[in-house]
Amino acid sequence: MSTTLWIIIAAAVATYLTRVGGHLVISRFDHIHPRVEAGLNAVPAAVLTTLVAPAALGAGPAEWAALIVAAIVSLRGGLMAMFLAGAAVLILARQFVG
C-alpha cells in the first residue's frame, strides 16, 4: 500500500479515537461531579467559539458585517435564516470592499 493510504488510515483511526474516547473515559465514572458537569455543559460554546474568534479577528469589514448581521438574525430566526443572511451580506459586501 502507498504511504498516502497509510496516512489516511492512521488519521482515520486517530480521529475515531477522539470521537469515541471522551465517552469511554467519562462512562467509567458512575457519578459525575457537578464541576465536571458544568465543564461539559460549557464544551460546545467553548470549542465552537475558537473556530470563529481568530477567523473573525483576521478578517476585514465585509466579514465583520456578515458576522454582525448573522448574529442579529440569530437572535430571532433559525440557523438557516442566520446563515443565509450572513452569506448574502458577505457576498454583497465583498463586491465593494473586496
> Is position 97 an interface residue for another protein (rule: CB under 8 A)?
no
CB burial readout 31-52, b (16+ within 10 A) else e: eeeeeeeeeeeeeeeeeeeeee
Which string of x and - marks every residue 58-87 that binds another protein (by CB under 8 A)? -x---x--xx--xx--xx---xx-xx--xx
Grid cell at residue 15: 480521529
Q: Which of 14, 30, 31, 96 binds another protein (CB under 8 A)?
A: 14
How many CA atoms within 13 Å lie on the side-chain side of 18? 5
Q: Per CB under 8 A, does 37 bind another protein?
A: yes
CB of 97 to another protein, least distance (A): 12
